[in-house]
Amino acid sequence: MKSQTSLYSRYFTYIKPFTQSPVIKYYGSTIFALLTMSILTIFAIKPTTETIFVLQKQLVSQNEVLQKITQKANDLSLGKKNYDNLNQDIKRQITDAVPDNLNLKSIIAILEQSAKMHEASVSALQIQPLVIDTKTTNQQGILSEVSFVFNTEGNYQNLVSLLQDIRRSSRLISIDNLSMSETSERTTLIMSVSGKAYYLK
């Protein structure tokens, strides 16, 4: 009991004079209120500040995307303007190279005529299966491809000339794979070409 009394007397010795000072006596409640408000304000502002930073990052990212889209739109507009200013012959060549329909006949005709011109016999011509969609009016064309396998037989020089002729043809044709092998008589070569022709769907 005595020890508790001495503890309280110590408390009053150090604390009571502090509470009796004029600053604490008259401004204590104001200081306490200000401290409380400051602490609460810090905890209230922190999540708001974090949200602002996140929103600023999102805004910067969206502005970058908007700039890219704007640049793409400007490039497309410039491309269309340049295309409209092209010579009619060049436009025709572009249309022939990538027609707005499949036009399998032109692919077959190009391959067969090239073989005939360079004295190579056609042993096989296979068009890979594909789905043909009907193009609606005012629909923007999508670049599509039709794959084929073309086998011919002839001498080396004629087959090389045949390949060059296919690459220079009016229709845009890319060659993916090429293989050559000797015939059993070893007088001619068999050439197998895998390629693609392009069109707008």
Sequence-ordered alpha helix ranges (H) in the chain: 2-20, 22-84, 88-97, 104-117, 156-167
Assigned domain for 196 exists:
yes
116 pLDDT more than 50: yes
Instruction: Specify whether 28 is located in the same domain as 6.
Output: yes
Cα distance between residue 134 and residue 184, in whole Å: 46
The residue type found at 118 is H
What's the pLDDT band for 156 if we cut at 50, 70, 90? very high
Domain that residue 121 falls in: 98-200
111: which 2 tokens? 């391959």
Instruction: Specify whether 109 is located in the same domain as 195.
Output: yes
Instruction: State the chain's mean pLDDT as an integer.
Output: 82
Cα distance between residue 98 and residue 92, in whole Å: 10
Query: Quick count: other Cβ atoms within 10 Å of Cβ 173?
Result: 21
Residue 183 · residue 153 · CB < 8 Å: yes
Among 85, 120, 155, the domain-final residue is 85
Instruction: Specify whether 103 is located in the same domain as 155.
Output: yes
151 pLDDT more than 70: yes
pTM for this prediction:
0.57
Assigned domain for 92 exists:
no
Residue 160 · residue 127 · CB < 8 Å: no
Write the pLDDT tens digit of every residue in 21-53. Answer: 665 566 666 777 777 777 777 777 777 778 888
Assigned domain for 185 exists:
yes
Among 85, 111, 144, the domain-final residue is 85
Assigned domain for 170 exists:
yes
Instruction: Supply φ then ψ for residue 154, to 5 degrees.
Output: 175, -175
Instruction: Specify whether 105 is located in the same domain as 192.
Output: yes
Could you give the angle at the alpha carbon of 32 between the alpha carbons of 30 and 36, nearest 5°?
115
- In Å, how far are 66, 68, 76, 111 from 72, measured between CA atoms? 10, 6, 6, 37
What's the pLDDT band for 152 if we cut at 50, 70, 90? very high
185: which 2 tokens? 């008589």
Write the pLDDT tens digit of every residue in 171-195. Answer: 999 999 999 998 888 788 999 999 9
Assigned domain for 113 exists:
yes
Among 85, 108, 130, the domain-final residue is 85
The DSSP output letter for 87 is -
Return the SS3 of 150.
strand
Instruction: Specify whether 74 is located in the same domain as 121.
Output: no
CATH number of the domain residue 158 falls in: 3.30.70.60
Indicate left, alpha or beta for 103 from its phi (over 0: left) and psi (-120 to 50: alpha). left
Cα distance between residue 2 and residue 4, in whole Å: 5
